[in-house]
Amino acid sequence: MPASSIYLGILGSLIASLGTGLGALPTLFIKRITQNVQGVMLGFGAGVMLAATAFSLIIPGLEAADDALGNTVTAALIVTTGIILGGVFLWLSHQYFPHEHFFKGREGSDVINLKRVWLFVIAIAIHNFPEGLAVGVGFGGENIANGIALTAGIFLQNIPEGLVVSLSLLSEGYSRRQSITISALTGLVELVGGITGAIAITIAQPVLPIAMGFAAGAMLFVICDEIIPESNRLGYEKAGTIGVMSGFVLMMFLDVTLG
């Protein structure tokens, strides 16, 4: 794998992570948004991630495995294994890492002496890590445009997410500055994921298909277990659905035009 691809993977995940901080900035001027709008924004993020798993991770992963092995069935098994491993990794993270969602409440092991804000931070970190991993891995193949499309999509997805997180922290009693700062810092977890993905592909290029599947599986778990249920809460299913479809179409367009 060329060194330039490694640097692009790290740079891409950094750029994507900055979307969270950018999205948090409107907290300087507004205190809240309606639950309907929150549903659309969360759904939008889920739609972007869903399209990214299909068009920017699973399909390129299948193509990479098929090119390397010349066997479609084996290629499908490899990527499927990666998807399952990614889902199991996120499931175990939710089971054993103490964290608290803004809407779902506390999950994971019980740590009573950990401040609530840190439980929120851990929850967001679990959510953001696979996104950064996807960007880092996305630059691992020969198609750099695929990584660019992933970077653009995750960056756009992070903007509404950053606003929702920041406003949620504000509603929990944190100051505007604290809310924006914490939201921006949680976005940097994606950089950690990007570095992890880039290094993994550097060490062993043949793991690219399974790594793409792993990133896709991790994001699928987040979409199904967290984002869509939260976007559908309190009877705003239609708003969440509109967001999901809008995000999916946008990410598909980005992947086709940039990739």
For the chain, domain boundaries: 3-28+35-258
Max intra-chain CA distance, the chain = 57
User: Does residue 163 contact residue 26 with C-beta atoms inside 8 Å?
Assistant: yes
pLDDT of residue 239: 83
Q: What is the pLDDT of residue 67?
A: 86
Residue 222's DSSP bridge partners are: none
**Section 233-253 average pLDDT:** 85
Going by C-alpha positions, the residue among 150, 146, 139 that lies closest to residue 16 is 150
The residue-averaged pLDDT of 167-195 equals 87
Band (pLDDT 50/70/90 cuts) for residue 86 is: very high
Res 82: pLDDT: 94
Is the pLDDT at 45 greater than 90, yes or no?
A: no
Task: Average the pLDDT over 105-121 and give the result.
Answer: 62
User: At 94, is the pLDDT very low, low, confident or very high (cuts 50, 70, 90)?
Assistant: confident
Residue 216 CB contacts under 8 Å (≥ 6 apart), including other chains: 53, 54, 57, 58, 61, 79, 82, 83, 86, 134
- Mean pLDDT over residues 195-216, rounded? 83
Confidence of residue 109 (pLDDT cuts 50, 70, 90): low
Write the DSSP assignment of 140-161 as a string of letters. Answer: SSS-HHHHHHHHHHHHHHHHHH
Using an 8 Å Cβ cutoff, are 126 and 162 in contact? no
Residue 125's nearest CA partner among 80, 76, 189, 44 is 189
- The Cα 7–Cα 195 span in angstroms is 9
Residues 181 and 20 sit within 8 Å (Cβ to Cβ): no
Dihedral pair phi/psi, residue 229, rounded to 5°: -60, -40
Task: Kindly compute the dihedral angle of the four CA atoms of residues 70, 72, 75, 80, in this order, to the nearest 10 degrees.
Answer: 180
Q: Count Cβ atoms within 10 A of the Cβ of residue 110 and give its class: 0-12 exposed, 13-18 middle, 19 or more buried.
A: exposed
DSSP class of residue 186? H
The whole-number average pLDDT for the span 63-81 is 91
CB contact set of 98 (below 8 Å; sequence gap of 6+): 106, 108, 109, 110, 111, 114, 119, 122
Residue 104 has pLDDT above 80, yes or no: no
Residue 78's pLDDT is what? 94
List phi, psi (to 5°) of 144: -65, -30
Residue 51, pLDDT score: 93
pTM: 0.83
Give the model's pLDDT for residue 108. 58
Residue position matching structure tokens 């092991």: 109
Is the CB of residue 52 less than 8 Å from the CB of residue 154?
yes
CA 46 to chain centre: 9
